[in-house]
Amino acid sequence: MAKVKDILGTLEAFAPVCLKMDFDNVGLLAGFQDRSVDRLIVALDITDEVIGEAIDEKAQLIVSHHPMFFSLKSVADTDRTGRKLTTLLSHGISAICMHTNLDAATGGVNDALAEAAGLTGTALLSQEVFDGNGAPHSYGRVGQLKAPMKLADYLKFIKERLNAGGLRYHDAGRDVYKVATVGGSGGGDLRHAAAHGCDTFLTSDIKYDVFLEAKELGLNLIDGDHFCTENVVTPVLEKKLTALFPEVRATVSRVHRQTAHFI
């Protein structure tokens, strides 16, 4: 039977730790490396609801994108993070978190987002990090649609593909054809999208000044929501883990979801 450390090794081969940003915290963040696993949950975040689901499903492992913590001085049930950790450990559940290394990995968050966005001929948006063989990786992608689309039609397409409750956007009055994508908070990469000659940039967590800059640069800008632009990777992980560990039942969480709502 697969153990936590076996699954960790497979995930880190797919998304090497060397691809993470300096601030990040990835890997086995809580739990038991030698614990056998026959049930795991894949989620974007390890919330109280996801932990409850794992307990109900008798899962031994949660694999998430976002880390449970970046730094800790104590683990106690006196604060929110401590309560999550003590609950996990008391039920024998481990937590593996794959964050910015999964963003940059080939086949990870940003390739999944580019595919969801309908892009072909996908390339790196920039060369931001290098793997152990010296190969470049990026936290974004750039590509083209099969044919130009009106922005209104593309917004409907993206909303459906990301299963988003709503979108924020700037309309630069241009059709959509060459698109840059960054899963999660990517407003700082607007300049890379412009440098590639893109007409449209899809990311999330966009601030006022980035919308203003997009207007001045003449780029369509779409905020697809942090959860929605990254949740595209959870079925990728489910499929990969199911294929590599057929004895383990791996499923995407039924209870994690977009937290922003629209009226």
Distances, alpha carbon 83 to alpha carbons 89, 192, 210, in Å: 10, 41, 37
What was the pLDDT predicted at 263? 83
Q: How far apart are CA 238 and CA 222, in angstroms?
A: 27
Q: How far apart are CA 104 and CA 108, in angstroms?
A: 7
Is 65 part of any known ligand binding site?
A: yes
What was the pLDDT predicted at 215? 98
Average pLDDT over residues 60-71: 96
**Which residues on adjacent β-strands are paired with residue 141?**
124, 181
What was the pLDDT predicted at 133? 92
Average pLDDT over residues 165-175: 98
pLDDT band at residue 122 using 50, 70 and 90 as cut-offs? very high
Average pLDDT over residues 29-37: 98
Whether 4-102 and 106-230 share one fold: the answer is yes
Identify the burial level of 39 via C-beta atoms within 10 angstroms of its C-beta, where 0-12 means exposed, 13-18 middle and 19 or more buried.
middle
DSSP-derived secondary structure letter, 200: E
Is 77 part of any known ligand binding site?
A: no
DSSP 17-80: GGGS-TT---EEEES-TT-B-SEEEEESS--HHHHHHHHHTT-SEEEESS-S-S--S---TTSH
What was the pLDDT predicted at 40? 99
Is 66 part of any known ligand binding site?
A: yes
Does 240 have pLDDT greater than 90?
Answer: yes
pTM assigned to the model: 0.95
pLDDT digits (tens, 9 = 90+) for 127-162: 999 999 999 999 999 999 999 999 999 999 999 999
- Positive or negative torsion for Cα 155, 210, 165, 51: positive
Beta strand 120-124 with 200-204 is: unpaired
Beta strand 39-43 with 200-204 is: unpaired
Q: What is the CATH number of domain 106-230?
A: 3.40.1390.30
Does 105 have pLDDT greater than 90?
Answer: yes
CATH topology of domain 4-102: 3.40.1390
Does 248 have pLDDT greater than 90?
Answer: yes
Q: What percent of the chain has pLDDT over 90?
A: 94
**Which residues on adjacent β-strands are paired with residue 39?**
249
- At 71, list the tokens: 């730094």
Does 71 have pLDDT greater than 90?
Answer: no
210 Cα distance to chain centroid = 21
Q: CB–CB of 82/74 below 8 Å? A: yes
What was the pLDDT predicted at 72? 85
pLDDT digits (tens, 9 = 90+) for 179-232: 999 999 999 999 999 999 999 999 999 999 999 999 999 999 999 999 999 999
Q: CB–CB of 51/118 below 8 Å? A: no
- Name the more confident of 138 and 73: 138
pLDDT band at residue 73 using 50, 70 and 90 as cut-offs? confident
User: What is the residue extent of each domain of the chain?
Assistant: 4-102, 106-230
Q: What percent of the chain has pLDDT over 70?
A: 100
- Residue bearing tokens 């307990």: 55
Exposure string for 49-74, b = 16+ CB within 10 A, e = fewer: ebbebbeeeebbbbbbbbbbbeeeee
